[in-house]
Amino acid sequence: MGILSTIFSKIFPSSHAAPAPAAPSATAAAPATAPAAPVAQVDVEAILNGMAQKNAQKLNWSTSIVDLMKLLDLDSSLTARKTLAQELKYTGDTNDSASMNIWLHKQVMIKLGENGGKVPDALKH
């Protein structure tokens, strides 16, 4: 399991749809009004704020990829962040950790939003 998948698993409930794109359905005759098809958006900000309130450390998850990873109890080392950058197809210089970290945070928030998370626009810029 990649780091991004681990991030998803820590934020989204187990009942939430998998973050990977779904394969095309073999049965095109499924009713268009099936109530189980849409999954309610998960309020990412509320979940992370709730986790932060219970955390002894003061973590600024809303701007720092390192703090976000710490909040989710993940390895936040430079090596782990470089691995995440590789997963997300970062094309910049991974030795410029400041630029990479800003890019990573933005991309993680965008990916959460693309996969059923309700993420405020301010966290995606």
With beta carbons less than 8 A apart as the criterion, state whether 83 and 6 touch: no
For helices 97-114 and 44-54, what crossing angle results, to 10°? Answer: 120
CA-based angle 59:63:67, to the nearest 5? 35
pLDDT digits (tens, 9 = 90+) for 67-115: 999 999 999 999 999 999 999 999 999 999 999 999 999 999 999 999 9
What pTM does this model have? 0.79
pLDDT digits (tens, 9 = 90+) for 28-63: 444 444 444 455 789 999 999 999 999 999 999 999
Bridge partner list, 43: 118
Q: Determine the Cα–Cα distance for residues 46 and 98; give it in Å rounded to an integer.
A: 26
- Three-state DSSP at 16 gives coil
